[in-house]
Structure 1
Amino acid sequence: MCLGLPMTIVETDSVSALCEYCGERRRVSVLLLSEPSVGAKVLVYIDTAIRLLDDDEARLIADALEGLGAALNGQDYDRFFVDLVNREPQLPEHLR
């Protein structure tokens, strides 16, 4: 299974970008984005930035990935899902 990572652009030449997530850096394609800038948060899937993220969405994705790691290691993971804890599941609007 492949997961998209919320990465931050460290440098770019408009064709590729050096991006960072949790101390790991990798060069990714940014051809699907229009004028990506240094400091922008992007969702990276298979070494391709597929879309820009705002800071809140990037944080939620990073928290979910950390929570998944905590759960797999038998650690408490509720703090990573504060937006979901103590909330009833809700159907999407089109299914109501």
Structure 2
Amino acid sequence: MCLGFPMTVVSGDALQAICARKGETQMVSMLLVGEQPAGARVLVHLGSAMRVLDETEADAIDAALDGLSAALNGASFEHFFADIIDREPELPEHLRSRTE
């Protein structure tokens, strides 16, 4: 399984940027997404920004990762998934039948 983490661009250019997450910073390759302004959120996997995230998606990924960590530590985790509790799961649009 591969995980990407939302990070916030601090500064950089089209080749690389300093990005931050939870108080830690790292140099990230920006070759796949291009130059991004400070404050932009990007999904980082193995030191490379894979795509630009909007704030809602970045927050949802952060909450899911925090929930996973809580579950692995035996803590309460349901509140991290408030956006999906009490609703029926739905397939993404690209996986739905064209006849629906």
TM-score (norm 1): 0.91
Letter in 2 for 1:47: G
Distance 2:77 2:57 in 1: 18
TM-score (norm 2): 0.88
Measured against aligned partners, the alpha-carbon deviations of 1:34-88 in whole angstroms (never above 9, x if no partner) come to 3311110000011000110000000000000000000001111111101111112
Q: Deviations over 1:7-57 (max 9, x none)?
A: 000110221000011111110100111331111000001100011000000
In structure 2, the residue matched to 1:85 is 85
Runs of 4+ in 1 over 3 A off after TM superposition: none
Listed as ranges, the gaps of 5+ residues in structure 2 are none
Structure 2 partner of 1:42: 42
1-side partners of 2:66 and 2:50: how far apart? 21
Identity between Structure 1 and Structure 2 (%): 50
Stretch moving more, 29-38 or 60-69: 29-38
Q: Work out whether residues 16 and 28 of structure 1, in 8 Å CA contact, stay in contact via their aligned partners in 2.
A: yes
Amino acid at match of 1:34: G
